[in-house]
Structure 1
Amino acid sequence: MDKEAITKIRNDFPILKQKINGNRLAYLDNAATMQMPVPILHKINSFYQTSYANVHRSVDTLGFNATKQYEEARGKVASFINAADTNEIIFTSGCTDSLNLVAATYGEQNIHEQDEIVLTIMEHHSNLLPWQQLAKRKGAILKYIDLTESQTLDLDDVKKKITAKTKIVAIAHASNILGMMNPIEEVIKIAHQVGAVVVVDGAQAVSHFPVDVQKMDADFYAFSGHKMLAPTGIGVLYGKKQLLDQMTPYRFGGEMIGNVTKYNATWADLPQKFEAGTPNIVGAIGLGYAIDYLHEIGMNRIQTYENELSKYLMQKIEKLDFVAIYGPKENHTGVFSFNLKNIHPHDVVTALDMQGIEVKAGHHCAQPLMHRLGVESTVRASLSFYNNKEDIDQLIAGISETEEFFNGTK
C-alpha cells in the first residue's frame, strides 16, 4: 500500500491522532487488541439506535431484522475463513471460550486414560490450560513439541511427538511471542495420518493474512473479534460439521433446545446447540462489519504491507547490539518480542510509554515458552496494517533513548 492509502486508513482511527505524555502515539500493541475504525463504530451505533432487539425469539419487525443481521454476520465469518457451511460457525465470547468449548465437549467425550494430547511449547495459556486440565481429569498424557535452534517449530519433533496414541493436537497458527507462522498444513497432515484431531488457535492470524480452514483441513479453528477490529466479548469456533454434530453441549439454557420435558431434553441443530442464552448480538454483528472493512482493504494487500513493515522493523532492531530478539530472523510476522540488556521489561515499557509508544511487557500468557527461552518476561511490539514506518522509527528511537537513560551509553 502506498503512503496515500495508509494515510486514508489511519484517518479511520482517530485514537491514533492523540498525544500520549505529550508525544505522538505509536500504537504497537495490536497482538493484545486492535483498534476499531470509525466506520465500524458508526455502524454499531446505528444498529443500537435503529435495530436493537433480541434474536431468534420474536417474529416482530425488530426481532426479525436483528436476527437477520446476526445470521448474516455468521455467513460473513464462514466466507471469511472459507468454511463449507455456515452451521460450522459457533459464536462464543472469545478465542478462550472457543478452545474451552472444544476441550469440554469433544475432549471430554473422546479422551481416555493414556491417550496423548500434543501441544507446542509456544501455546498461549488459552490453548494450553484446557488441555492440561483435561489430561489431569482423564489420566491422559500431555506432550510438547519443541523449538529448533532458530526458535521455529521443530518439524522433526512434530513427527516424534505425534504417535498412534495421539488423539488431539493443539497448535497456534501464528505465535503471539515468536513472530512466526507455524507450518500448519504440514502439522495437520501428520496428525491426520494417525487419526488425531487438530485444534488451531487462530487469534494472531485472522486479521493479518488470508485463512482457509478447508485448505488447511483444520478440524477446529478458534479466534477472537477484538484482535480483528471488532468489539470485545465476541469470538468464533469453527468446527467440521461431522464433529460438531457428534458433540454434546456444555452450556444449557434458552434457545439451544429441541424439546424439554420435566426429566429430559433434546438439543437444537447446529449452530444453536452451542449458543445457549442471549448471545453477544452486537459483538457478532460488529464482527461482520469488521470483516467487511478488512475485505474492502483486501487480506492479501494487508499481508503484503505488514510483511514490508516487519522487514523494516527487523532491519532496524537487529542493528541495536544491546537488544535480544526472540523468534526467527527471517519470515517474521508483525510480532516482535525482545529484551534490553540489564533493563527489566516493565521498565522498558514504562520508558517507552513516556515517549508515546504503546507496547506490552510480561510473559504474554505463555509461561512455558518463557521458561524455554530462559527468561521471565519480554517486551512485545506488534504491528497492524494501520501502522507505518514512522511508528517503527519512533520505537527504535525510543529503545535507544531507554538504553541510554538506564545504562548510560552513548
Structure 2
Amino acid sequence: MTQRTIRAGAERLEDLSGLTSLTEITSAPDPQEHYAALRARWGEVAPVEIERKDDTVIPAWLVMGHAENCHVMRSELEFSRNAANWRWNYDDLLPAGTAIGTFAPAEPRPTAFYHDDTERKRLREPLDDALEALDERAVRDQTTYMCERVIERMGDSGSGDLVRSYCQPVGFLAMTTTLGFDLETGARLMADSAAVVGGDGDQVAKAQARTAATVLEHIRLRRRDGGRDLTSHLADHKNFAHDGEIATSAIVPVSAAAIFLTAWITQTLHQVLSDRRLAARVTGGRLTLDGTLDEVLWRRSPIGHSPAPRFARNDVELGGRLIRKGDALVMGIAAANGDPAVHTDDLWDEVDNRSHLSWGTGPHACPAPRLARLIARTAVDQLLRHMDVTLRAPDDGLPWASSPWVRHPEQLPVTWHRATGSGVVG
C-alpha cells in the first residue's frame, strides 16, 4: 500500500481521537514543531481539535501546506465559507454556547464573510468601494495622533505591559477612528471585541450583540450627519438591502482589529525588542519597517489559524486525505507561511516577498491589507521613534496568548523612557 493510499484512507473525522488542539499549537513555545509532528504523521492535512465543550470534541481538518491552503481559499465551489454547509450545524451536533458557533453560525449573517459566489460579491463590493474611497493620508495622520496620545499617557518613563498599555489600544482605536467612532465608544467596542476573542460562547454572543447595536446606531448617525470615514462610505451604498447588512459588514473590520492588528503590532515589537540581529538590520537601514512587518508575517505569523473555517460541499481529496462532505477545514496560516516548500536557505532571497498567506487569497482574501499595514507600520514607528524601550523578559520565556486563532505574547514586560534621538531598541 502506498503512502498516498494510506493518507487517502476512509477515516471519519469524528471517529479520530487524541487530537491536538489549535490553542495548544498557537500558545506553544514553537508552533512549527507541532506542525512538523502533524506533517510527519498525517501529511499536509491533519485532524485537530477546534474546541472542546464539556465532553464533546469539535474536530476539523487543519490545512498546513502552502499549496493546499491556496487551493482551498481559491475554490469556493468546493469549500464554502457558509457554515450552513457544516455537518455539525445541519446534523445539529454542535453543543450550545460554543465559541466556534459564533464564528460559524448555522444561519449566516449578512456579510461577505459568511457567503459565497453571487451573495458574497454583492456584500463585498461596498466594503471594497469604501476602502478605496478612504483618504490614506488622513488615516495615517489619525493613527499618528492616536499613537502620540497613547504614548503621552505612558508618561516620560515607566514600566509595565506594552501589550495592554500600547499595542491593544493603538491597534484597535486606530481602526475604530477610521470607522468614525469617538474614543469613548471605541474603548467600549474594544472591551467587547476582547470578549469575542477570549470569552466563552455566552460571553461572545452578548458582546457581539452589544457591538451590533452600537454599530447600527452609528450608521444611522453617520447617514444623518455625513462624513468621510469608512462607515459614512458604507452607509449609502446601493448594494445593501437594509441597515443590518451595513452593520454586519462594518463589524468585520472591528473584529479584525481586535484579532489581527494587536497581534501583528505586538509580534513586530516583540521581535525588534528581543532579536538584536533584527534590530540592527532595522536601525542600520538594511531592512525597512515594511520588510520587518513582512518578515513577522512570514516567520512569526500573528495569525496562527484563520478564524474563518471552510466547509466541504462534497467528498473531495486534499493533500492525499479524504475530506468528507460537511467536514470543517481550518486554514493553517502559520503552517503555510512556514512551509519548507516555499522557502530558501537565504533570508535575503525573501526580503519584500509578500506571497505569504496572512491576508489569505482568492475571493475571500482580506479586503484591507493596505489599511492594516498603514496602521501597523505607523504604530510600530511611532513607539520606536518616541520611546527607548527595553524588554524585561523572564528567564523562562514569555507566556503566549491562549487562543486557537492568534499568536502573540500575552504580555510584553518593558521599561521605557522618552527617546533623545532616533535609536529604538534597548
For the aligned pair, the TM-score class normalised by the smaller chain equals under 0.3
**Higher relative strand content:** 1
Could you tell me the TM-score, scaled by structure 1's length? 0.27
Q: Which has the higher contact order (CA 8 A, sep 6+)?
A: 2
**Higher relative helix content:** 2
